[in-house]
Structure 1
Amino acid sequence: MDTYRPFLHNSYQQGDIIIGGITSQVYSVADTVSFREHPTVELTENPIAVLKNYQHALALEFAVKEINQHPKILPNITLGFHIYDSFDNARTTHESTLRMLSTRHRFIPNYSCGIQSNLISIIGGLSSQTSFYMSTILGIYKIPQLTYGSFISMLNEKREFSSLYWMIPNETHQYKGIASLLQHFRWTWVGLAALEDDNGETFLQMLISIISQNSICVAFAQRIFQSSNIIDYTSMIEKWYEVYIVLIPSKANAIVVHGDPQCMLSLRWVLYTGEVESSTKTLGKVWIVAAQWDFSSVTYQKGLDIQVFYGTFAFPVQTKEILGFRYFLQNRNPSVTQGDGFIQHFWQQAFECSFPNSDAGTTGEKMCTLEEKLESLPGPLFEMSMTSHSYSIYNAAYAVAHALHAMDASRAMHRVMPNEGRLHSWQLHPFLRSISFNNSAGDTVSFDENGELTTGFDITNLVTFPNNSFARLKVGRLNPQAPAGKDFTIKDDKIFWHRSFNQVLPLSLCNENCLPGFRRKKKEGEPFCCYDCYPCPEGEISSQNDMDFCIKCPEDHYPNMDQDKCVLKVVTYLSYKDILGASLAFSSIALCLVTTLILRMFVKHRNTPIVKANNRNLTFTLLISLLLCFLCPLLFIGQPQKMTCHLRQTAFGIAFSVALSCVLAKTIIVVLAFMATKPGSWVRKWVGKRLTYTIIFSCSFIQLGISALWLGTSPPFPHLDLHSLSEEIIMECNEGSILMFYIALGYLGFLAILSFIVAFLARKLPDTFNEAKFITFSMLVFCCVWLTFVPTYLSTKGKYMVAVEIFSILASSTGLLCCIFFPKCYIIILRREMNTRERLTTRRIV
């Protein structure tokens, strides 16, 4: 089995003061300690290089080079650096940290012998575990540690942070940013995936708490195991597939992933294994990566398709382009570097070539020509632009330099170095905590009271290409220092979605949205984001998706057909412009004209026997009252006004009471006239005009009294009825007192029934001067009309209710006119020979 010597894998540059660095460029698995033999420092298996992380060491070297060339920062002091690889392994990380504290080339911590380096601080590490392993040692010596990776959830007590500085903002801000992103795109059904460690558990607990407060549900919370923890390859494949069948088939299209950079390697194998095992192509998902996760590949993964990550959102620390860094990388070559123990192994892994007499293991048969260029490498292997991790390392080096410069300016350094020749790193803490400066890109670098960098996060969108290269697009920003409401910004028009979504905003919901017009109801036994959709009740609307409650429209509005908005109700009344109103008005006027013609005819033939029979004056009074009855409907048509409301019912009631009084008087006169013809009858003295006028006056006066009482107590008034019809506002005359309305109507019914009874009893009297049969028919029509009117009137609304009353007035009045007067008109016009006293006394009136 191949072995690898990790402590030959380092980079060094001499200086008056040394900045240490712990990077994670190689991943490997160490032998299990058996306690049967002295543990070796060699790592079993050929180590796997994460080539992109080589830039981290170069970023520190580049920063130190810039600082040494800067005329105003530490002008009399030269900085150096010493960088080790942690191998992402606890044993190696501890040993690398201890070697930092030893004399170079001799592993004897706390022993000064020969040339001792002036170590001032250490920058590292990338993963939270590496940072934790380092802090357990550096915290003892009070050596400032500037970590550029993830937060360390294991350090939960403030006293353990005394020597630790984070070159990233607190991850809580990032969790709030993720919740804002989910809210912005209305993704309420999301999946969570995290490494199976303490940091992963902290992430799940905190993010679930935050997103739940924002009405977002968790579809699943999946743990991703570290592939290095499983030796059996078959078990590894099975576990990867178990994770795959949770992540991909879920209806959650948005998946938030948290982990260290190595988590990307495991996730790519999860997706690759799932595709192989299921023989299906991975469906499009929106990946949202949290913490300091970088999109990287190892050499043997570079053939894996990365299109599944198209459209991924990431939250790296806010970065800007550093001038000169790309040129620095372009000129990087094993032939021109000294003290770089990383480059040879990197070069062989990156370009799949080998150097003569190399003991780092070859990855290809061809020899390295040293003409290879870093810019030719694909993005997942190596990037030419500075990554967020490298940017943090660059700022960390400058933070140490500015703190040293401040210390030098305070002359504290000069009081120590001449005597001992060595600077104590713990003396840097007061200056490092209060440091604040602008880097070469213009960003402000400073720490808060917890030792966390006061900066924000970029929101980047990953665009991948068929050749497995990619580009990061900045589409937004998360600025925790900004006022509430302005701390999260994103530009939707710059976002690229996974190709399976056809560049349409994807949905991530437990079920389809409840569209406007529906309300949602929670499904029993399921999270609150899962619900059924029910139509809004009648009269209510919902104007947005996923409303919990439907709302009622204002009184002057009504729901449209889809029940998603309120429409202004139309004010309606029986108008002359309506066909119905115009027809009724025309009928009313036409019948008035007919009545007028009949009246004129009777006046013209007033001296004929047919007119003089049964009291000529009474006939004229009846015709005039019918004429007024036909005019009454005109008060009901048109926009209701206060005056018309007062007049319509009272005028109709009084006119009809006069007409019915005349009919009653006619009927009574017929009966009394027959009785008066008998010898010695006492009725003779009652027959005459006085009785007729008494009947008309008394009956009409009662109706007049009812109308006066009605107007004096609770008169009708104009009213807007907002509730009777769902889509219309009825402008009507409110009757004021419904009781008085029915009393007035009932009194007319009483007169009609009384007239009907008297006429019915007198129908078989001798025909001479007898109108009883015609009055009987007219009262029968009258009663039928008004008996039908009551239920019809109560069952209609709006202008149709008014139309029913007008029709009843016209129909009952027409019945009186036709039954009583048409037979006489027939004789006057067509049978004039019958209009003589002799014929009327010997024959029936036809």
Structure 2
Amino acid sequence: MDGDYVIGGVFSIHNYIHTVKHNYTTMPEPLRCTGSIDTRELRLSRAVVFAVEEINNSSKLLPGIRLGYQIHDSCASVVMAVHVAFQLSNGLDPVFYTGDNCSQSGTVMAVVGESGSTPSISMSRAIGPFNIPQVSHFATCACLSNKQEYPSFFRTIPSDQFQADALAKLVKHFGWTWVGAVRSDSDYGNNGMASFLDAAHKEGICVEYSESFYRTHPRTRIQRVADVIRRSTAMVVVAFAASGDMRILLEELSREPSPPRQWIGSEAWVSDPEMLRFTLCTGAIGFGIQQSVIPGLRDFLLDLPPTKVANSPVLTEFWEHAFNCRLEKSAATDERLCDGTEDITTLQSPYTDTSQLRITNMVYKAVYAIAHAIHNAVCQKTNSTTHCDKLTRIESKQVLAQLKKVNFSQNGYDVSFDANGDPVAKYELVNWQKSKSGSIELVTVGLYDASLPVGQEFHINKNLTWVEDSTQVPSSVCSDSCPPGTRKVLQKGKPICCYDCIPCPEGEISNATDSPDCFPCPKEFWPNAERNICFPKPVEFLSYNEVLGIILAAFSVGGACLAVITAAVFFRHRTSPIVRANNSELSFLLLFSLTLCFLCALTFIGTPSEWSCMLRHTAFGITFVLCISCVLGKTIVVLMAFKATLPGSNVMKWFGPPQQRMTVVSFTFIQVLICTIWLVLRPPFPMKNLTIYKERIILECALGSAVGFWAVLGYIGLLAVFCFVLAVLARKLPDNFNEAKLITFSMLIFCAVWITFIPAYVSSPGKFTVAVEIFAILASSFGLILCIFAPKCFIILFKPEKNTKKHLMNKNQY
């Protein structure tokens, strides 16, 4: 239709181009389209006519100006699309002007189309140098956003970059990390899939395979892609393909059904009503352009009187194919003539289906965007009146400049373009669900708005149906998630989504699913059995509440009581010969020191504290020296007493009671001095031992100064050895109640205990170190009291007849 300003339109009304045979002897026949009509594309082309007529009838937009249009069929072919592009840019005037000034009046102001990305790229490169703006309704390749290569390209449909990001977020949202990928072998599929793979990689999604195909490829190529899908382990398949290509693949898969697959589709096919016949894709989800309502469009589409149909070859072809009749009688065919009873309102066809207008609205907005750009270029607003001069001759580059600035709302739909010629990206999340009648229908279950803040773009507001009509989200992972307590180890030669789950090493945990690393617990903590939580380590020390502590405490108290009872027996019989003959003063002092020795073992039991640590070692050292000093004194007394019986000997006057007391005090004072130096310089202190056991804490007393500790022990050992030597020398003295033998045995036990104590103390772990020390104290103390005092108590209590001076002076061996 002619007009003051003409808009071009290019649509893939047919899907194939007639193959031209060149014999180079005659002019080749003109290019022409073949195959059946794509009735959805026909509806899109008719939407251009509807929008133009609506604008021409408007009093607000381009008042007084009549728009025209010229719509072409590109046959979804690059060759035809380029041919049409040059035809539109060459001008529409039938007369060729040869003057100096070439008129631009016949050139189209802008072009709506093409539907495919690849033809759109070719068209943009052809008409771009002429500054003719191109506004596509369905070309979504992200590459077209490059203004360096396509400066005059605009579109009302979002770029595939947004859709690829949205698809990656969708896959991530449902926890799928192992997917397959198929794509159209075209600019649309290759660029869209490249964007998706890049976005998927950022989201941590792995792709098992990526296959390309095209509807004109040999069947063997399509079969190979279908076999890859059948053999794959990925449950989810992302398909970035054109509707025509996808139809070929699904037909191949239908011949030999593959295992159930969850299909994720790009907008081009997942929202195409014609694709809903493939039941193997039940549960498919993907993004579609938002549904819209265009008032009056359905009535316009159905308004096809016979005269209008007859005047249009395309409408004629559509009519004849839809009703299987011919408008004119032809001798070449026997088809019946159309008799006028055909009713288009009864026709079930994408042409008449306006229930889900998606891409149609993109065409509608494209026409209005061009009209607004022309309006801004030729119209002037004076006060409240808009005046447009249809005689104003404008060039397409003026429309191009104004198109960059358009920002309006039509039927509630906002239209504007960013610096790349792209609109604001908004999608509906669509799901293929079975209706009650058993047919598959498109159901909108959510929204995606790229203009919203990160993390808020995606919103699902309805329940989804999955593959095989399931309500459970299918799983598609290469490896199951690693639970807390394990870490991921990648499998050699496989993608990062394929891994093994290795338990955390000892002392380390992981508290998150799919943790790449384990981390150690703090020093005073230890993992639980599952190795996902750090618990405080149990604190261990020799306690009064445990069996070992109770037994040792009982022996300690028992030993002290035994010493007290022995002292009581000796005190009760202090005037008896056996008590008087064995230096009663040193015996009572020895029993007192033994009582302290038994009781000092109690300081080793219980929670170590600063005072208990200092007390336990010093009290042990001093009381034992006091004890050994008394034994040493008794041994010297025995030797001196024997020497005093020799004629002319005057030894006893040099080792009387005052000298004995001084000996005990002197030996004990030296130990007190050693302990004092130890406590002043580096005293023992409580500490938490974290090295002996990894899984628990040992509370113990650190020695502070190991030299001090071994000096205390060494001094005790020195006195014990000295005492032992003297006792050995006096063991055969011919005295009846000679204590030398008893002291020899006691010192033998004492030395044996403490010699074995040293390796046992060094090698015993944790609280058993303390137990060994207590055992040594108790064993040596019991050795002394039993060897020295038990025989005497036995005679005093059970053999009183031997507790006489006569028996004491008897030379017979005791």
| TM-score bucket of the superposed structures, by smaller chain | 0.7 to 0.9
Q: Map 1:540-619; keep pairs closer than 5 Å.
A: 540-619=508-587
Higher mean C-alpha displacement, 689-698 vs 72-81? 72-81
How far apart, CA to CA, are the structure 1 residues paired with 2:768 and 2:143? 80
Structure 1 residues 664 and 439, CA gap change in structure 2 (3 angstroms): farther
Give the equivalent residue in structure 2 for 1:321.
292
**Could you state the TM-score of these two structures normalised by the residue count of structure 1?**
0.82
For residue 55 of structure 1, report the CA deviation from its aligned partner. Answer: 4.4
Q: 1: distance between equivalents of 2:689 and 2:410?
A: 73
Which residue, out of 754, 757, 768, partners 1:786?
A: 754
Question: What is the CA–CA distance in structure 2 between the aligned matches of 1:774 and 1:27, rounded to whole Å?
Answer: 121
Tell me whether 1:264 sits opposite 2:246 in the alignment. yes
- Match of 2:440? 469
Matches within 5 A, 1:479-498: 479=450, 481-483=451-453, 485-486=454-455, 488-491=457-460, 494-498=463-467
Q: Following the alignment from structure 1 to structure 2, what is the Cα–Cα distance between the partners of residues 568 and 99?
A: 82
Q: 1:701 aligns with which of 642, 666, 669?
A: 669
Task: Report the CA distance between 1:430 and its aligned residue.
Answer: 1.9
2:682 counterpart residue number: 714
Structure-2 change in CA distance of 1:803 and 1:764 (3 Å): same
Matched, 1:74 2:74: no
Deviations, residues 609-659 of structure 1 (Å, cap 9, x unaligned):
232232111111111112112222332333333222221211111112211
Mapping of residues 107-122 of structure 1, within 5 Å: 119-122=108-111
SS in 2 for 1:161: coil
> Which residue of 2 is the match for residue 750 of structure 1?
718
For 1:22, the aligned partner's letter is V
Q: What's the counterpart of residue 219 of structure 1? A: 208
Which residue in 2 is equivalent to 1:242?
224
Amino acid at match of 1:93: A
The question of 1:283 aligning with 2:259 is answered yes
CA contact (8 A) 2:226 2:249 kept: no
Q: Distance in 2 between matches of 1:356 and 1:699?
A: 137
Paired amino acid for 1:144 = P
TM-score by length of structure 2 reads 0.85
Contact 1:311 1:495 (8 Å CA) reproduced: no
Distance in 1, Cα, partners of 2:306 & 2:657? 142
Asked whether 1:89 is paired with 2:77, we answer yes
For residues 783-842 of structure 1, what are the alpha-carbon distances to aligned partners after superposition, in whole Å with 9 as ceiling and x for unaligned? Answer: 444344444434444444333333332333223223322222222323333322333444
For 2:102, the equivalent position in structure 1 comes to: none
Q: In structure 1, which of residues 389, 394, 417 is the aligned counterpart of residue 364 of structure 2? A: 394
Indicate if the aligned counterparts of 1:102 and 1:110 stay in contact, CA closer than 8 A: no
Q: CA contact under 8 A between 1:127 and 1:261: conserved in structure 2?
A: no
Q: Distance in 2 between matches of 1:91 and 1:640?
A: 94
> Are 1:133 and 2:102 an aligned pair?
no
**CA distance, structure 2, for counterparts of residue 364 and residue 212 of structure 1:** 59
1:204-235 per-residue CA deviation (whole Å, 9 max, x = no partner) reads: 555545544555444333222x12244xxxxx
| Alignment match, 1:6 | none
Residues 1:653 and 2:616 are matched in the alignment: no
Equivalent residue letter for 2:689: D
Cα gap change, 1:549 to 1:103, in 2 (>3 Å): closer
Amino acid at match of 1:778: S
Q: Tell me, yes or no, if the aligned pair for 2:283 and 2:466 is still in contact at 8 Å.
A: yes
Q: Is the 8 A contact 2:108 2:396 kept in 1?
A: yes
C-alpha change, 1:428 and 1:663, in structure 2 (3 Å) is: same
The corresponding residue for 1:7 is: none
What letter is aligned with 1:395? K
After superposition, the Cα gap between the structure-2 partners of 1:502 and 1:321, relative to the gap in structure 1 and judged at 3 Å, is closer
Residue 806 (structure 1) aligned with residue 788 (structure 2): no
1:52/1:813 Cα in 2 relative to 1: closer, same or farther (>3 Å)?
farther
Gaps of 5+ in 2: 100-104
The answer as to 2:152 corresponding to 1:163 is yes
Within 1, Cα distance between the matches of 2:606 and 2:280? 73
- 1:813-832 pair list within 5 angstroms: 813-832=781-800
Verify the 8 A CA contact 1:287 1:311 in the aligned structure 2: yes
Say whether the 8 Å CA contact 2:429–2:446 is kept in structure 1.
yes
Corresponding residue SS for 1:247: helix
Q: Which residue of 2 aligns with 1:310?
A: 283
Determine if contact 2:481/2:514 at 8 Å carries over to the other structure.
Answer: yes
Q: Deviations over 1:342-398 (max 9, x none)?
A: 56655776x785566599999999999755767967x9x986443542332232122
| Contact map agreement 1:645 1:733 (CA 8 A) in 2 | yes
With 389-398 and 462-471 compared, the bigger mean Cα shift is at: 462-471
Q: Tell me, in whole angstroms, the C-alpha distance in 2 between the residues paired with 1:641 and 1:592.
A: 24
CA contact (8 A) 2:727 2:744 kept: yes
| In 1: Cα distance, 2:334 partner to 2:276 partner | 17
In structure 2, C-alpha distance between the alignment counterparts of 1:102 and 1:358, rounded to whole Å = 37
CA separation of 1:755/1:497 partners in 2, compared to 1, >3 Å: closer, same or farther?
Answer: farther
Q: What amino acid maps onto 2:121 in structure 1?
A: F
SS for the counterpart of 1:126 is coil
- Name the SS for the 1:451 alignment partner: coil
Contact 2:445 2:460 in 1 (8 A): no
Are residue 147 (structure 1) and residue 149 (structure 2) matched?
no
Cα distance, 1:292–1:685 mapped onto 2, change above 3 Å: same
Tell me what 1:30 maps to. 18
1:695 CA drift (Å): 3.4
The alpha carbon displacement at 1:89 in A equals 1.9
Cα-Cα RMSD: 4.2
For 1:507, the equivalent position in structure 2 comes to 476
- Comparing 337-346 with 209-218, greater Cα deviation is found at 337-346
Equivalent residues, number: 801
Q: Does the CA contact (< 8 Å) of 2:51 and 2:367 recur in 1?
A: yes
Specify every segment of 5 or more residues in structure 1 that has no aligned partner in the other structure, as ranges: 1-12, 231-235
Moved more, 63-72 or 628-637: 63-72
1:3 alignment partner in structure 2: none
Q: Is the 8 A contact 1:755 1:779 kept in 2?
A: yes
1:686-697 matched pairs, under 5 angstroms:
686-697=654-665
1:706 Cα deviation after fit:
1.8
| Segment drifting more, 831-840 vs 202-211 | 202-211
* CA shift for structure 1 position 844: 7.8
Partner Cα separation in structure 1 for residue 329 and residue 708 of structure 2: 116
Q: SS at 1:475's partner residue?
A: strand
Once residues 621 and 686 of structure 1 are traced to their aligned partners in structure 2, the CA distance between those partners, rounded to angstroms, is 21
Q: Residue 803 of structure 2 aligns to which amino acid in structure 1?
A: N
Cα distance in structure 2, aligned partners of 1:799 and 1:110: 112
Q: Say if 2:432 and 2:440, in contact at 8 Å, map to a contact too.
A: no
Distance 2:791 2:299 in 1: 121
Residue type of the partner of 2:750?
F
Could you tell me how far 1:240 is from its partner in structure 2? 1.9
**Counterparts in 2 of 1:623 and 1:144: CA distance versus 1, 3 Å:** same
Q: Name the residue aligned to 1:672.
A: 640
Return the alpha-carbon distance in structure 2 between the equivalents of residues 531 and 71 of structure 1.
Answer: 67
Distance between the aligned counterparts of 1:665 and 1:492, measured in 2?
A: 99
From 397, 407, 411, the equivalent of 1:440 is 411
Q: Within 1, Cα distance between the matches of 2:111 and 2:622? A: 109
SS state at 2:109 partner: strand
Letter in 1 for 2:253: L
1:54–1:819 distance in 2 versus 1, CA, 3 Å: farther
Distance 1:606 1:140, change over 3 A: same
SS of structure 2 residue aligned to 1:220: strand
Q: What percent identity do the matched residue pairs reach?
A: 33
Whether the aligned pair in 2 keeps the contact of 1:539 and 1:559 (CA below 8 Å) is yes
1:737 equivalent to 2:705? Answer: yes
Alignment-derived partner of residue 608 in structure 2: 640
Cα pair distance change 1:142/1:707, threshold 3 Å: same
- Give the counterpart letter for 1:470 in structure 2: E
Post-superposition Cα deviations, 1:4-53, rounded to whole Å, max 9, x if no partner, equal xxxxxxxxx676554433222432252144244544457586x1444444
| Alpha-carbon distance in 1 for matches of 2:557, 2:333 | 115
Letter in 2 for 1:21: G
Q: Which amino acid aligns with 2:475?
A: P
Which of 616, 627, 641 in structure 1 is aligned with 2:595? 627
Shift of 1:715: 0.9
What is the CA-CA distance between 1:477 and the residue it aligns to? 1.9
Answer yes or no: is the 8 Å Cα contact 2:291–2:357 preserved in 1: no
CA distance in 2, matches of 1:845, 1:17: 147
In structure 1, the residue matched to 2:375 is 405
Distance across 1 between alignment mates of 2:614 and 2:334: 110
